[in-house]
Amino acid sequence: PFSFTNSYVSISQSWDTTSISLTAACDLFMRYVTRTTALEYENFDAAKCRLIERGEKFGEISLK
pLDDT of residue 59: 86
pLDDT of residue 9: 63
Amino acid at 15: W
Q: Is the pLDDT of residue 64 over 60?
A: yes
What is the per-residue DSSP string for 3-51? HHHHHHHHHHHHH-TT-HHHHHHHHHHHHHHH--THHHHS-HHHHHHHH
pLDDT of residue 18: 63
How far CA 61 is from CA of 7, 15, 41, 51, in Å, comes to 23, 24, 26, 15
Domain boundaries, the chain: 2-63
Express each pLDDT in 5-60 by its tens digit: 566 666 666 666 667 777 788 788 888 877 766 667 667 788 788 888 888 988 88
CA torsion 47-53-57-63 (nearest 10°) is 120
Confidence of residue 61 (pLDDT cuts 50, 70, 90): confident
